[in-house]
Amino acid sequence: MARHDASDLAHRLSRQAEAVCRHYLSAGRKQGNYWQVGDARNNPGRSMFVRLKDSPKGLAGKFTDAATGEHGDLLDVIREALGLIDFADVAEEARSFLSIPHPEPEPAQKRHATAPAPSGSAEAARRLFAISQPIGGTLVETYLRNRGITALHGTGNLRFHPRCYYKPDEHSPTETWPAMVAAVTDLADRITGTHRTWLAPDGSGKAPIDVQRKAMGDLLGHAVRFGLSGDVLAAGEGIESVLSAREVMPGMSAAAALSAAHLAAIQFHDPLRRLYVVRDNDRAGDGARNTLIERANAVGIEAIALSPMLGDFNEDLRTFGRDALMAHIRVQLVPQDVARFMLLAA
């Protein structure tokens, strides 16, 4: 069987657009030539429209979310509805829905043993993420909820590894701890690195070790991304801080660059028109904010800083609660973005 690439799979799905929507977006309903639903994650609502038939306005299978500006095709719907991240998994699910046989494996004589990936490389990062599992029902979910983070939609770039290697230094033995493994991706959603946060065995917090976080791979300009790309993005440093801001802006796409230096260098995707800088309240955060705002303005992107009350937005969330955080962020947003992104959380 010939290999089916993304465009071919998307085209095949578009010919069965209504069936795809009924299966993956069951919370919605048909309205004329469109399927109407809350968002690509199958939440109830009416802001997202999937075109069911080709028309002068566009091709079948394309969707637009009027609330967030997100857009894409039915492969994106499958990815978001099921919380998938790797295209191989999305393609496999699409083939299964379409009843397309899996591509024939390469002949045995062409197979080669997988070579070890260099330690700390992008390939090692991809392999680590591949062997980790979705976070639902795991210690990662426990850890995040213990930090006040409950809005876990669009977090397919987070996974759980129950026994992730940890080596304090070159002279110490290797230990294993449960870990939150985050995929760092580029603008094409290719995994370029991973970030590990080692956790306590009960998920109550981070592991009692000297270095609780560590990243590997190609990180500069890339980020851990949450939600589909739209015309508005919230970008910050830490995963927990960014997810805390997203707790009260659940419809907004977000990205965690993992450090102030990497936040200052984050790449911008084409549809981006407004950038919220989810800054940490320290000198490094100030520097990242200033650099990022200057870079964004230079390419015509409006950039606005979101400042926490304390050290970062997770500290705010845990100290003051969700309602206080919502009120604090609300006054820092452009008014139309309050209606687009925050009222969903009210």
Show the domains of the chain with their CATH numbers: 6-98 (3.90.580), 122-217 (3.90.980.10), 224-345 (3.40.1360.10)
Q: Which residue has the higher pLDDT, 120 or 44?
A: 44
Q: Is the pLDDT of residue 330 over 90?
A: yes
How large is the average pLDDT for residues 266-293?
A: 94
The answer to whether the pTM exceeds 0.75 is no
pLDDT reading at 41 higher than 70: yes
The model's pLDDT over 235-251, given as tens digits with 9 standing for 90+, comes to 999 999 999 999 999 98
Least confident of 67-71, 150-154, 187-191: 67-71
Residue with the larger pLDDT of the pair 19 and 67: 19
Write down the pLDDT at residue 172. Answer: 80
Q: Has residue 3 got a pLDDT over 70? A: no
Q: Kindly state the average pLDDT of the residues 162-175.
A: 86
Q: How confident is the model at residue 16 (pLDDT cuts 50, 70, 90)?
A: very high
- Within its chain, how far is the Cα of 129 from the centroid? 14
Confidence at residue 64, expressed as pLDDT on a 0 to 100 scale: 87
Per-residue pLDDT tens for 54-102? 888 788 999 988 777 777 889 889 988 887 766 777 888 888 888 876 5
Instruction: Assess whether pLDDT exceeds 70 at residue 110.
Output: no
| Lowest mean pLDDT across 102-116, 199-213, 259-273, 279-293 | 102-116
pLDDT at 345 over 70: no
Least confident range of 49-58, 99-108, 249-258, 315-324: 99-108
What is the average pLDDT across 208-229?
Answer: 93
Cβ atoms of residues 103 and 1 within 8 Å: yes
What pLDDT, on the 0 to 100 scale, is given for residue 116?
67
3-state secondary structure the chain: CCCCCHHHHHHHHHCCHHHHHHHHCCCCEEECCEEEECCCCCCCCCCEEEECCCECCECCCCEEECCCCCEECHHHHHHHHHCCCCHHHHHHHHHHHHCCCCCCCCCHHHCCCCCCCCCCCHHHHHHHHHCCEECCCCHHHHHHHHCCCCCCCCCCCEEEEEEEEECCCCCCCCEEEEEEEEEEECCCCCEEEEEEEEECCCCCCECCCCCCEEEEECCCCCEEEECCCCCEEEEECCHHHHHHHHHCCCCCEEEECCCHHHHHCCCCCCCCCEEEEECCCCHHHHHHHHHHHHHHHHCCCEEEEECCCCCCHHHHHHHHCHHHHHHHHHCCCCHHHHHHHHHHHC
* pLDDT of 311 strictly over 90: yes
- What are 193's strand-pairing partners? 184, 217
Burial zone of 128 (CB within 10 Å; 0-12 exposed, 13-18 middle, 19+ buried): buried
| pLDDT cut 70: percent of the chain above it | 92
Q: Is the pLDDT of residue 118 over 80?
A: no
Confidence band, pLDDT 50/70/90 cuts, at residue 167: confident
CA terminus-to-terminus distance, the chain: 50
Please give the average per-residue pLDDT across 110-136, as a whole number.
Answer: 79
pLDDT tops 50 at residue 22: yes
pLDDT of residue 141: 96
Q: Tell me, what's the pLDDT at 119?
A: 72
pLDDT at 43: 84
